[in-house]
Amino acid sequence: MFQLHTNLNLERETEALVVGVFHKNDSFEGPLEEINGMFDGYLSQLVKAGDINVNEKQVSVIPTFNKIGAKRLIFIGLGRNSGLTEETLKEAYGKLFQRIKVSQLTEVTIALSTFTTSVISEEMSARLLGEMSQLSTYEFEHYKKRSNLPSVQLEKINIIASNNIESAFERGYVYGKATNSARTLVNLPSNMLTATDLADYAQKLADKYGFECEILEKEEMETLGMGALLAVNQGSTEPPKMITLKYQGKSEWKDVIGLVGKGITFDTGGYSIKSKSGIVGMKTDMGGAASVLGAMEVIGETKPKQNVVMVIPSTDNVISATAFKPDDVITAMSGKTIEVLNTDAEGRLALADAITYAKHHGASYLVDVATLTGGVIVALGTHTTGAMTNDSAFYEKLKDASQQTGEMIWQLPIAEKDKKKVRSSKVADLNNSPGREGHAIMAGTFLLEFAENTPWIHLDIAGTATTNGASSYGPSGATGVMVRTLAQLIHDF
């Protein structure tokens, strides 16, 4: 899909030559100056007239009338040179690829130096280009008889760059592609993505990348005492799965990062049933599982020198005569007993056993990812993932990774009073739902009881796992949030 060229050859045939244009009062420079010369200075006049829009993220298409080898010129407005940020450039690239998709172009050439500044290098620009080539054009293959997917797809990107930016582009491409894989998992309806299907998907990843794969069945979970996950599964006819993938990037199995993703394939709320409007969209309650599977795809492609164990507890949470109920007391794998006050607080129960099992597999660090609470949306909205931790140094590493990928996180506190609330049951060690106040914090504090002293970060993606509107990053629906941040964390660790 990608080919690198070191010089701008205006006679080279291409469907479109793409250049970035900044808001300037002076004349064109570099490649733009050369291209403008081929048009007798006419392009600079079009900029002054506003026919080529230099404002941020604006796309202008100009036919070349065979004056150069490109059939058309695509100008991407970048605003003022001093104001160009990574985020703005990503959105500009997103608009570019969406326009290419609508125009059904199969091949384009990009003059990369026109998308750089004193703070944005060719390597950085290439990485963002690769990432957005995938994210911005994502589409879920729905079940309508007539597909809305275009029949023509972009097959080749020629990049003109003075440096070897191949690895940077490919890295961004892999991050974007893996994020799209996670998006598709989240967008699948629950009758087409059961716990068994999720386990099969993980097995295919293992086969492709040489991961060690273990799928625990219900009987094995019973032997291991995974009473928390099994309680959530009690009402279901679908068997639960505890899914584990292991990647060894070091000679010894030590300093292992554990990625734990909530895999509730549909959540009715159980006997604490959701409202008729609140239950719609609960196919996305396995967004955490999709995130860690996407991260494992990146790991398989890039092969970092790091040890990683991924654990997903998977089931649906449905109502039947055998379903667990409020007032039940269950025993988790760790041996701790839990009073169930809310069957709609099931994700933390499943994660409790998965966190314990990740430690069983040698996890020295833990990151759990879950669409866990509506409370985090009330607190932080839909653009910021809530985070909680017991280890500030570990959290700083994740925070740095999130800043690199542009996926915003915000730390929520854990106070001693919060711990006391989680331990406030009169009949068990813990209760799974101390109340609505600080709901997101209560959920994270509950999980801390199972992480214990292992460096741990909890990521609540209930607000960020999906979006209601289309953007430069693609259509509404699943976002694949945290795939890139988790992969970056492991890469940098």
Q: Return the active site residues.
A: 274, 348
**DSSP summary character for residue 76:** E
270's torsion region: left (phi>0), alpha (psi -120 to 50) or beta?
A: left
Question: Which residues are within 8 A (CB) of 140 and not within 5 positions of it... i.e. 6 or more apart?
Answer: 183, 184, 187, 475, 477, 478
Rounded Cα gap, residues 124 and 85, in angstroms: 11
End-to-end, the C-alpha distance of the chain in Å comes to 30
Q: Parallel, antiparallel, or unpaired for β 156-160 and 2-5?
A: parallel
* Residue pointed to by tokens 């892999």: 174
Q: Which residues contact 49 (CB under 8 A, 6 or more apart)?
A: none
**Measured distance CA(240)–CA(234) in Å, rounded:** 9
Q: Name the token pair of 441.
A: 């914090």
How many angstroms separate the CA atoms of 458 and 448, rounded? 9
Is 344 annotated as ligand-binding? yes
Helices and strands in the chain, H and E counts: 15, 20
Residue with tokens 């209560």: 442
Tell me if 285 is assigned to a ligand binding site.
yes
Determine whether the annotation assigns residue 400 to a binding site: no
Q: Report the C-alpha gap between 66 and 49 in whole angstroms.
A: 23
Strand partners, 109: 17, 158
Residue written as tokens 């996670």?
182
Residues contributing to the annotated binding site for Mn(2+): 262, 267, 285, 344, 346
